[in-house]
A and B are shown apart, each in its own frame.
Chain A
Amino acid sequence: MEDIPRLIYLSIFTIAFGFGLSIYKYNKSLWILLGLMALGLLTEYIVEFNKHLENKVNENVIYNIYVPLEYIFYTSFFYFINSDSLVKKSIKTSIPIFIIIVFTILNISNTNSNELQSYIYMLGGVLTIFLSIWSLFLIKPIKNIKFIEHPLFWFCTGFIIFYSCILPFTFIQNHLENIDSKTLKKVSNIIQKGANIILYAIIIIGFICSNRMQKHSSFQ
């Protein structure tokens, strides 16, 4: 693999997934997060395998399948980790609306499946940021547990940082696809990989905090 940032990203992603599997899960919805990570890893390895086959399948097709599923996994994670009924109702409503919007974008944009559907990705990202912020404010206090010791703090912060870094570049790339700028693409590529590395590093911290919650498990 020539792309070193991608190699680091895939390594840290795999470590985070392995770590997540082995630790104590303070909340059952962490299994959903692990499910999402498994799906993400599978997608990335399929893309890698595809590269070895000299891109028999356009990799954007693989990502186009992954992105809507990713959003559904994220919302399911927030659905089960929050006990607030308003959040649950909003998530229940958002999933069908998201699916309708996905199909509408696919029909209106008239793009072929070989192009990356970045609008869908951006929509999912914005909604995930929104859900992360909402969940941050709904974290229930636990005796002797500081906010930064709470796993959900790390997961939410990770998603917020990740999408805040990624979305502006996705937006710009979307609008400037006619400009063939090597610099822009290179920087955008590095930032995307960097954001992914930060996200999974933060997720590992979240898992560590989840493990430390074991002694406070009676409060859950």
Chain B
Amino acid sequence: MFQQNAKTLFFSIEETSKDILIETIFYSTLILLFFSIIVIIAILKYRNKQREFQEREDTIKNELIKASLESKEQTMEELAARLHIKLQQTLSLAKLNLNTMLMRPSNIDINKIESTKLLITESIKEIKDLSKDLDPKYITGYTLEENIAQQLQRVEDKTSIKTHFTTSKEEINLKKNTQIFTYRIIQEAINNSLNHADASLIAIKLVNNPKDFDVYVEDNGKGFDTSILNGESNKAKGIGLLSIQNRTQLMNGTFTIKSQPNNGTKINLNIPLNESHGD
């Protein structure tokens, strides 16, 4: 009797445990299935992110080409102006001096020879400067600071506008793409000042921070009412400002503009360092 009861009890325990076991396996399978769905969702999300990433990479690539071409074009225009205004005039004057001397070979003026020599020396120096600016590595071959200094020098040469440039003691170490974008943005900001601001002073300041760097471009021109920029329309922002904004975004940076009528314009860019912008 006792044996019979013990056997029944043992089987009932085994039966219960089997049920529990089956239930546990069932719930484990359910949990696994649930997590499998989550993993599939994660895979789909990753594919989306990868597509966006690819699109962003393509945009950066296109923008880089555009920025490089724009920058090259602007530099070429400036160089053409320098060739025309400075070099051509200096050499024409030298030629005129020589012609005058040739017309009167018996009466050679030594001062005229000296002045011609000076004009030729100036021309040689100008050609040297020009060839430096025509260097294909004209942006990335120099540091951002050097590029900006050269650009401001060109502004001073071409116009009556004074420029002022300050940098941090430590040079900013930038990746190639970041440098091209930043330089192009600064060129665009300078262009805006030259073309629209009627400014007499353009000041640029670079501040090197541990994780990012700031660029300040300021002019003392006629300024404008920034409320017109609050409208979403691209027309209000203008192509220049729009491209500054886009390129800053591509570098995961921030862009602010402050201006008031008759009170100049201040542009500030904050760009994070050590981030790959398609480099």
A interface residues, Cβ below 8 angstroms from B: 129, 133, 136-137, 139-143, 147-148, 150, 153, 157, 160-161, 164-165, 167-169, 172, 176, 179-181, 183-184, 187, 191, 218-219
Contacts and interface: CB of A to CB of B under 8 A. Distances in A.
A147 B46 contact: yes
A169 B20 CA distance: 10
B21 A164 contact: no
B228 interface: no
Interface stretch (B25-33, B155-163, B260-268): B25-33
A139 B43 CA distance: 10
Contact of A129 (B35, B42, B46, B47): B35
Contact of B276 (A129, A172, A219): A219
B216 to A, nearest CB: 28
A181 B21 CA distance: 10
Which size class do B's interface residues fall under?
20 to 34
A179 B16 contact: yes
Contacts of B21: 181, 183-184, 187
B52 to A, nearest CB: 8
A57 B43 CA distance: 46
Given A141-B50, A161-B35, A168-B31, A147 B42 contact: yes
Nearest to A135: B42
Contact of A169 (B16, B28, B54, B57): B28
Contacts of A136: 38-39, 42
Contacts of A157: 39
B28 A164 contact: yes
A147 B38 CA distance: 14
Interface string B35-78: 10011001101110110111001000000000000000000000
Given A141-B53, A179-B13, A164 B20 contact: no
Contact of A179 (B17, B39, B49, B52): B17
A151 to B, nearest CB: 13
A42 B264 CA distance: 70
What are the 3 closest A-B residue pairs judged by CB atoms, nearest first? A181-B17, A141-B50, A136-B42
Contacts of B47: 147
B43 A147 contact: yes
Contacts of A139: 42, 46
Contact of B32 (A137, A164, A172): A164
A142 B57 CA distance: 11
A141 to B, nearest CB: 4
Contacts of B32: 161, 164-165
Nearest to A195: B28
B24 interface: yes
B46 A141 contact: yes
A136 B39 CA distance: 8
Contacts of A148: 43
A184 B20 contact: yes
B14 interface: yes
B18 interface: yes
Contact of B38 (A133, A165, A218): A133
A109 to B, nearest CB: 22
B252 to A, nearest CB: 13
A183 B16 CA distance: 11
Contacts of A160: 35, 38-39
Given A147-B42, A172-B20, 4 more contacts: A153-B42, A160-B39, A164-B28, A184-B21
A143 B43 contact: no
Nearest to B49: A141
A143 B18 contact: no
30 contacts: A129-B35, A133-B38, A133-B42, A136-B38, A136-B39, A139-B46, A141-B46, A141-B52, A143-B54, A143-B57, A147-B43, A147-B47, A148-B43, A150-B46, A160-B39, A161-B35, A164-B28, A164-B31, A167-B31, A168-B28, A168-B31, A169-B24, A169-B28, A172-B24, A176-B17, A179-B17, A181-B13, A181-B14, A183-B14, A184-B17
A141 B49 CA distance: 6
A30 to B, nearest CB: 20
B39 A143 contact: no
A83 to B, nearest CB: 11
A165 B32 CA distance: 7
Contacts of A141: 46, 49-50, 52-53
